[in-house]
Structure 1
Amino acid sequence: MSRLTHVTAGPYAPPAARRELVAESADGARLHVEVHGEEDAPTVVLAHGWTCSTAFWAAQIRELARDHRVVAYDQRGHGRSPAAAEYSTTALADDLVAVLKATLADGQRALVAGHSMGGMTIMAAARRPEFAAYASAAVLCSTGSARLVEEARVVPLRAGAVRTRLTRAVLGTRAPLGPVTPVSKQVLKYATMGPGSAPDKVEACARIVHACPAAARHGWSQVLAGLDLDRDVRSLTVPTAVIGGTADRLTPIVHARALAAALPQCAGLTELTGMGHMTPVEAPEAVSNVIRQLAGTARTKEKSS
């Protein structure tokens, strides 16, 4: 369970779910799942990133649930999903498949959107037949498929072996983050958000990130440090939109551009000027609009086929 909580007021406070359930993954890991909106509406599934939780999608859930059924889940070890024995890209794919099976009926399809590690989850699942059966389209938001540590710019040094070693040490630390303070918020803002991010957005992100247990944060950092999903990107054959922030230090915009070039069916690249890594919080309307538009296009295509 989390040590701290998300903000409880304002636009970044998560809305109450219509219902909650537990999805069981292939290795027995139990995943907290929330369902928002009307049950008979088109479905959007949201997968959050490293050190986050379903609360990270508060703005998208509130907007999209007006006319969509929105499914959000906590990745293993995050939020209300307990820690599990395995941290791997295989586990990420297994978990997403479990959530899709638990929330979609046979023949029902959904747009699947992922931020950061959530986007990597989608890529890891791309070659699974279950993903092909349930996913009509995808959105990859502030994410990358490989060379995450080498490309990251959270350490202000020239690219090279020294920066890579220091970045690996910083992102992989086992130390607890401690309470949210003015100093810790400034550190988080520098590392993960654009320089113009408003205080309420920084506060919302800090509360979520600091709530992630240190063991899960470290375990997933090791997976991300060795990530190589380039082959899986080329297997992601559903229409896929890509979003990136031009001021992203964790997954710089070079990743978004590479994904857009490699995808078999790229449905567009949206570059958000001045935004950092936390784009769903930093630019909630823009991210929601990309999801909404692609979901609508995918439904229209399915009806005409």
Structure 2
Amino acid sequence: MARRRSPARASRRVNVRRGEVELAVDVRGPADAPVVLLVHGYPDTRAVWSELVPRLARTHRVITYDVRGAGASTRPREDAAYDLRELADDAAAVIDACAGGRAVHVVGHDWGAIQSWELVTTARAEGRVASFTSISGPCLDHVGRWIGDAARSPARLAAVLAQAPRSIYIAALRIPGLAERVWPRLGPYWPALRDVAERGRVFADMRGDRPSAGGAAPTLADDGATGARLYRRNIVRRVRAPREDAHARVPVQVVVPLRDRFVSRALAVEAPRPWCAELSVREIDAGHWCVRSAPDAVARAVSEHVARIESRRSGTGTGTGTVGEIRPRRVSFDLSGTPVPWIPGDRFTSHVTDVLHLLLPAGERWFVDVYREALPLVRDARLRADMKGFMGQEATHARVHDLVLDHLRANGVETEPFTRRVEWMFEHVFGAHPPRGVPLTPRLWLELRLGGIAAVEHFTCVLGRWICERSAALDAAGADRAMLALLRWHGAEEIEHRAVAFDTLAHVAGRRAYVWRAIGMLLAVPILTWLWDRGTDYFIDRDPVMADTRVGHGDFVRAVRQRRVPGRALVTAIPRFLSRGYHPRHEASSEVARAYLQPANNNAR
């Protein structure tokens, strides 16, 4: 009687076709389990996962495939066919065909990780990828930025120089025809050479690792020769001209084999750090081919990372905010008992803070108007959903701050003379059409305003983080609870949607995004400084207690030292925003926003 195989052992083999390329795919594991996609490197095939798959397939749906040019998959002859964009499209096709409509947890090793970075840093990841684990394969765009910025830091320059000898083999693989001549002779010796590279001695194991499983694949000579096109097509092209928008769109785990002879820890961890909103690092005592030599350690790292992400997706855990969750909230604040000024004994700080209410209603309605113009240009469904949520939140902010203006007027502070000037600026200087004499097309005028919004949103995120995390001095000073609740609710939502303006600018402006980002900051700093100065003077002039008081820079410094207003945080935010590798997802923690916005913790009434 035939024995029935367990779901973990049963394997389904399929071929996935994309254009002229056919990819050989294996699927194993329970159909209702979290889906893991394993992407192999060079010069391997999907067989490199032979030790790992049985361990993962007990509790995961595991997909492996031979990438183009390897194993049983098609081998295009042109170097252009091995462009990272083609490889990422292949991975997307495998996910679409085999994942049953679910987002997968991608695990890439060596070149499998390199090409998977292309997948998870582009719109291809939307709806397809839940997380990414990178093993010994950096993103080439990140490498380019990491090397380019090395001169700014002696420590980074030392790390780049230390990586150089590990990468010397790349020069040989880029020589046309060399791999084609060498691999047929090298193939039979490859398993032994691989183990020499792994541990220094053939099958010698002084640390407890097992020798690499398996011998040479029957297709190894062709795999090695064809796969060299990966190096010729991508290395120099990407490192010299890295993308400016190579931000990971999913949580990333970097597994660092501490005895990797090819990829240093600095390259594996520090190069991607500025580009990942959520980056975790797992070190294991193994070499480069750890997926063969230390499968238990790798399986634990992958399983625990997948479980952590799945718990968030199912609502059983906590995590960072995900795109598409941004939404306006129905809130109300009872200001009937709020005094004017609202910080006892500190009229100056009250007035400085109240300038927000003078600027925000008109400014946030202007944000919404500009985004209505930009929305038809955005094809990314996830970003469109974010933009709509952002617009809803900004409209709600404007309404709530209008109520504060009503409260100020009810307490004898007339605000209309100032707010009318702010409205005029947004309508006539930064309106739907450029002012006379500004030689910009409608598209470029829109991009300039999106750059300005991205810069302002950078500052509002910094302010949001400060009011939510670092404003305990206001509580200690006895500041009005309702006003603090309003400011912290607004700050938490600024943290929540902190990436939307930046991502919208990048999507609409493309390669021009950095220029508009810089111009936006150059405009925002003097305009906001001037408006805040004028607004503070406006309130002080109408304060019967302070009208004849001489107020200057020293008063602001005093408020900063008392930790009642942010100081250094606003100044250091400027160069950070102008860094080419910057993304606002690193600016604050979504956990802070979510914790405050939870109904049980939200002081909004």
What TM-score range do you get, normalising by the shorter chain? 0.7 to 0.9
Q: Is the 8 A contact 1:32 1:74 kept in 2?
A: yes
Q: 1:163 to 1:21 in 2, by over 3 A?
A: closer
Residue identity opposite 2:172 in structure 1: A
Residue identity opposite 1:269 in structure 2: V
Q: 2:83 aligns to what?
A: 88
Q: Is the 8 A contact 2:37 2:106 kept in 1?
A: yes
Q: 1:267 to 1:17 in 2, by over 3 A?
A: farther
Q: 2:229 aligns to what?
A: 219
Q: CA separation in 2, counterparts of 1:196 and 1:216? A: 28
**Are 1:194 and 2:202 counterparts?**
no
TM-score by length of 2: 0.42
The 10-residue stretch of structure 1 (124-133 or 285-294) with the greater mean CA deviation from structure 2: 124-133
Q: 1:225-268 CA deviation, whole Å, 9 max, x = no partner?
A: 32637648842121110012222222222221224523423342
Residue identity opposite 1:296 in structure 2: A
Q: CA separation in 2, counterparts of 1:218 and 1:300? A: 40
Q: Is the 8 A contact 1:246 1:276 kept in 2?
A: yes
Q: 2:288 aligns to what?
A: 277
Residue identity opposite 1:283 in structure 2: A
State the structure with more CA Rg. Answer: 2
More strand by share: 1
Q: 1:259 to 1:184 in 2, by over 3 A?
A: same
The partner residue of 2:138 within 130, 133, 144 is 144
Q: CA separation in 2, counterparts of 1:38 and 1:77? A: 29
Q: CA separation in 1, counterparts of 2:162 and 2:267? A: 15
Residue identity opposite 1:300 in structure 2: S
Q: 1:164-213 CA deviation, whole Å, 9 max, x = no partner?
A: 776511565322243655x654433344x233774663463654894553
Q: 1:52 aligns to what?
A: 44
Please tell me the root mean square deviation across aligned C-alpha atoms, in Å.
Answer: 3.3
Q: 2:280 aligns to what?
A: 268
Q: 1:227 to 1:257 in 2, by over 3 A?
A: farther
Q: Which runs of 5+ in 1 are unaligned?
A: 1-14, 152-157
Instruction: State, as a whole percentage, how many aligned pairs show the same letter.
Output: 22
TM-score by length of 1: 0.78
Q: 1:5 aligns to what?
A: none
More helix by share: 2
Q: 1:114 aligns to what?
A: 108
Q: 1:244 to 1:48 in 2, by over 3 A?
A: same
The alpha carbon displacement at 1:214 in A equals 4.0
Q: CA separation in 2, counterparts of 1:287 and 1:233? A: 30
Q: Is the 8 A contact 2:213 2:293 kept in 1?
A: no
Residue identity opposite 1:253 in structure 2: R
Q: 2:21 aligns to what?
A: 29
Q: CA separation in 2, counterparts of 1:129 and 1:113? A: 18
Q: 1:164 to 1:61 in 2, by over 3 A?
A: closer
Q: Is the 8 A contact 1:180 1:206 kept in 2?
A: yes
Q: 2:301 aligns to what?
A: 290
Q: CA separation in 1, counterparts of 2:14 and 2:268? A: 33
Q: Is the 8 A contact 1:178 1:210 kept in 2?
A: no
SS at match of 1:133: coil
SS at match of 1:265: coil
Q: Is the 8 A contact 1:145 1:255 kept in 2?
A: no
The partner residue of 1:204 within 203, 207, 214 is 214
Q: 1:117-140 CA deviation, whole Å, 9 max, x = no partner?
A: 111121111244342211111100
Residue identity opposite 1:124 in structure 2: E
Q: CA separation in 1, counterparts of 2:268 and 2:164? A: 23
Q: CA separation in 2, counterparts of 1:160 and 1:261? A: 17
The structure whose RCO (Cα within 8 Å, separation 6+) is larger is 1
Q: 2:268 aligns to what?
A: 256
Q: Which runs of 5+ in 2 are unaligned?
A: 1-7, 148-160, 205-209, 316-324, 326-605
SS at match of 1:78: coil
The alpha carbon displacement at 1:144 in A equals 1.5
The alpha carbon displacement at 1:34 in A equals 0.5
Residue identity opposite 2:33 in structure 1: A
Q: Is the 8 A contact 1:31 1:73 kept in 2?
A: yes
Q: 1:264 to 1:225 in 2, by over 3 A?
A: closer
